Structure 1
Amino acid sequence: MNKTKILIVEDESIVALDMKNTLTKFNYEVSNCVTNYNDAIVSVKTNRPDIILMDINLGDSKDGIEVVEEIHSFDNIPVIYVTAFSDENTLKRAIKTNPVSYLLKPFKREELNSNIMLGLYKNNKNLKSTINEKYHNLGNNYYFDNNQEKLYYKDLPIKLGAKEITLLKILIEAKGEIVPFKELETRIWDSNTISDSTLRTLIYRLRGKLEYKIIETIPNEGCKILEVN
């Protein structure tokens, strides 16, 4: 059985090497490690990967989103963005390329593996959802089982942390209404003091697991879950 081939596009050699070693341990084949726009395009055309791990900041080269736009002009290979960029403008640009997910650095190795598995699963167009109708339909083939506190994409479970579960449940209960950031802080962390970036990172990570299509952030206000039409 052929191994899944993965292309790594990352301009930091230490990070690329760590990802390569991790992927090898998970029994994937790394087709190449490249650092810029031109090498990425050549690598895709000469040794087509099954999935691409794409950094956004590629130094002096065109950025990762531009690389993906060019690749998708001739081949629809699934992409996972692996990046430290989490600002809203970058997210909006990235979403337009329809990535599998948006993985924020630093991340756990198991998280990387689960994102790859999700990407391969989503790329299988023959799969149909047999999910239980009693689960909460979040849209875009995502479902949440309130009783078991589990998130699914079609039939595939997606691992959530305890605070990600709490955040998602709060937003579902709000039924499309904006939940203020301050209220989220209080309900998730009780009276404990947290830094400004802690809640923001939690929201970004959960939004990433839902392809940034289901939860919307309203600057300086809060966030809400988008209602299914």
Structure 2
Amino acid sequence: MLKILLIEDELIIAKDLQLSLQKDEFATIDIARNYDESIALFLEHNYDLVISDINLKNSIDGIAIIEKFSDIKTVPVVYLTAYSDSKIVDRAKSTMPFAYILKPFNLAQLKITINLAFLNFKKHEENIKPSDENRALLETLTKREKEILIILSTGKTSKEIAESLHISSQTVEKHKQNIRSKLSLKTIGELINFTMTSKLFMLSE
């Protein structure tokens, strides 16, 4: 089970996310509402991932907190933001986040984004460069097919993918067949290799 630090100063939102992500043992969530709580928890625990709202009410925002974290340890970061403003995104990029998600979002989107963050973190750790050929092929996939490819590449089964996206296992299998056909790939290993050399770094819609 994943251990995640959630930095969110709106307690109702934080508690809702905590309950939702802890359901079905997807993750355990610790909540921090400001800079001091965030640093204390980050130093005390070994987190697999950090989810941080960019826009916190106090003077130190989520980006500044992640900048401090990077001096301690590098972990995958997912930013939550209500804005897709290029200046905010560019500032956030300087802290090397591995995914973003725009508010409002649903639980399925957040889980996909968490999986995307782990995928991008692995690419970074292994210094895997994106392939121009794979980037072009990626554009032949629908949004749903990209979502399934992301989750599939983290080792999830069709049943687990179906549960994350709230669709049937049969629907997942059909999408997997379409993905294989469009990419001319046959095995799960080939699909994972394709995903690892494709540029899947974007703001969630």
Q: Is 1:156 matched with 2:150?
A: no
Specify the SS of the correspondent of 1:85. Answer: coil
Matched residue, 1:17: 15
Matched residue, 2:201: 210
CA positional deviation for 1:134: 9.9
Deviations 1:68-126 (CA, angstroms, capped at 9, x unpaired): 00000110011000121222211110111111111111101100011112222333346
Q: Which amino acid aligns with 2:33?
A: T
Q: Is 1:95 matched with 2:99?
A: no
Specify the SS of the correspondent of 1:11. Answer: coil
Distance 1:13 1:96, change over 3 A: same
d(CA) in 2 for partners of 1:136 and 1:122? 15
Distance 1:26 1:95, change over 3 A: farther
Distance 1:38 1:118, change over 3 A: same
Higher strand share: 1
Q: Which amino acid aligns with 1:110?
A: A
Matched residue, 1:196: none
d(CA) in 1 for partners of 2:28 and 2:18? 7
Matches within 5 A, 1:88-127: 88-124=86-122, 125=125
CA positional deviation for 1:29: 3.4
Counterpart selection for 1:44 from 27, 31, 42: 42
Structure 1 alignment gaps of length 5 or more? 160-208, 213-229
d(CA) in 1 for partners of 2:16 and 2:52? 14
Counterpart selection for 1:144 from 138, 153, 156: 138
Are the equivalent residues in 2 in contact too, given 1:100–1:211 (CA < 8 A)?
no
Q: Which amino acid aligns with 1:114?
A: I
Distance 1:92 1:26, change over 3 A: farther
Matched residue, 1:80: 78
* Higher relative contact order, structure no. (Cα contacts within 8 Å, ≥ 6 residues apart): 2
Q: Which amino acid aligns with 2:7?
A: V
CA positional deviation for 1:135: 5.5
Are the equivalent residues in 1 in contact too, given 2:21–2:29 (CA < 8 A)?
no
Specify the SS of the correspondent of 1:58. Answer: coil
Structure 2 alignment gaps of length 5 or more? 155-164, 166-199
Output the TM-score relative to the length of structure 1: 0.58
d(CA) in 2 for partners of 1:104 and 1:134? 27
Q: Which amino acid aligns with 1:17?
A: K
d(CA) in 1 for partners of 2:24 and 2:133? 31
CA positional deviation for 1:28: 3.1
Deviations 1:18-37 (CA, angstroms, capped at 9, x unpaired): 10011111423334101111
Deviations 1:104-154 (CA, angstroms, capped at 9, x unpaired): 11101100011112222333346979x9x895426xxxx5152x544466x
d(CA) in 2 for partners of 1:71 and 1:50? 13
Matches within 5 A, 1:159-174: none
Higher helix share: 2
